[in-house]
Structure 1
Amino acid sequence: MIEIERKFLVKSHAFKTVAFHKYKIKQGFLNSHEERTVRVRLKNDKGFLTVKGKSSSNGLTRFEWEKEISIVEAESLLLLCEEGIIDKIRYEVKCGNHIYEVDEFFGENKGLVIAEIELNSENDTFDLPIWLDEEVTGDIKYYNSQLSKHPFSSWEK
């Protein structure tokens, strides 16, 4: 129930040619407090309710609990969410012994592409594909809960 992950910006769409799976995600937040978030997600034909705790000081680890719920429940809960629904396509890309989840955002976050990799430990080594850019692990403006409130399109370029 502890999630260890690192996040990177993506500088090209080259990852799409090596992705082995992709799916549409629509998600909202019932609670987006800095101490915890409660997320509702539609992922293709499945619904999920997820609770995440506060990130560690280095941004690498945090508590995560997730439960599958019905599509009807997820759609109903999305209607109760805070303003700012996230719409994205997630691509899964195998790289070495790990899988990167690459999110291409749409709507008010169009133009933003972020890759995440889940690790077994904070010291886990992993390959860095050429399409990765700057690491943004721990930068809360790239958390989905923040992107729902302060979308990429509103940032100063």
Structure 2
Amino acid sequence: MPAVSPQPRANTRKFFAPARSIRSLTGTGSPYAANSSTHPRDPGRPNTLILFLSANGGCAEPSTDAGGQPAERINDPAFAGNVSYGTGWANAANTPFRKFKSQLYAGGIATPLIVHWPAGLKTKPGSIDPTPGYLTDIMSTALAISGANYLSKHYD
């Protein structure tokens, strides 16, 4: 019988994926707010573009290798390595997409992109645009909106 019940570990797992996303979003706004005397949604900075996206898909694979650590710790959110939060919570983390990382369903190859750009977006704030994009589109878009040119010569 384990010295510690597995139930508390299972309970913390369900909070890991949403907490990670919330913390990432909170952290994304922090540098913006720290460099401004106004709130990030204030129209005083309409040309600031903020993009937020994550890696493709939630991880549903159970972790069996604890990287040399005791295997009981692999699903512990405090474990500094690969964390598995199980199929159910990977599904919740992937909503509205189907399936998970390493699979060719939308949940494995797609990720939502959250964009904040008051001066550039012509859509209603808070709206959802179902148009698919491609990660490499971000570079060309950043160059276009900034007026910068892509380097014609590669420097090592």
Larger relative contact order (CA 8 Å, sep ≥ 6): 1
Q: TM-score, normalised by structure 2?
A: 0.22
From the CA coordinates, give the structure whose radius of gyration is larger: 2
Task: Identify the structure with the greater strand proportion.
Answer: 1
Task: Identify the structure with the greater helix proportion.
Answer: 2
